[in-house]
Amino acid sequence: MIRATVMATFWDGRHGACTKFTYSRHHWSFMKTERPPARMRLPEGFSHLRADLGQILKDHRMGVKGVVGPISQDALALSVGITRVALSRIENGHTWPQGSTLDRIMEQLELDWPQVAIAGDSGRPALLFDGSLQGTRMYQLCQRLRVERKSLGWSLAELSRRSGVSASQLSRIERAQGGRSGVFTWHPGDLNVRPGHRRVVFGNPVLADLAAGRFDYGPDRES
């Protein structure tokens, strides 16, 4: 809130003199403030989102960069599940997207993490890395999946096409944020082992083979 003080002079005919007076006025001023840093968990090897994330997303949506043709704000917002106003605020740098929203935008625009985030150590543990044996195994499994995908030169969109798992879900899995979802299952050889000591594997055959390093062909060959 800003207080403004004004001084004015007028002719007082009754007293035949000039009189000065002051008055104060209050009004609200809304000032644009710098965005606080985004707080979301990123894949291992990335410390924070790029400062110009909004412009990057806008350029890829409009077809200036990337492989996706021009998409209107209305169309992208509808496919992502947010309002056009919310998407506009993200693109203009007024707000950071939520993690799930960014996952879906990246899926639609076929973006990968090196395009939207800065390499480095975030210092924040993955959600599944809770210190338990199973949490550790799930975290290691998620990291192996990402390492193998990158070694083949596959984007999240390419792995999504091959596996049938959405790119946004794959993104969460690689960040060890997939939760104990249907993509994980027990190792078939451990069914007689106590649950807390069973090995965890991917139920999806493509993800299971990739995490196990059983793909030995390049990105252009069909699985």
CA distance 195 to 178: 19
Tens digit of each residue's pLDDT (9 = 90 or more) over 150-187: 899 888 889 989 998 888 788 878 877 655 556 788 88
Query: pTM to 2 decimals?
Result: 0.54
Tens digit of each residue's pLDDT (9 = 90 or more) over 89-142: 999 999 999 888 888 898 888 888 888 988 887 666 555 455 567 777 788 888
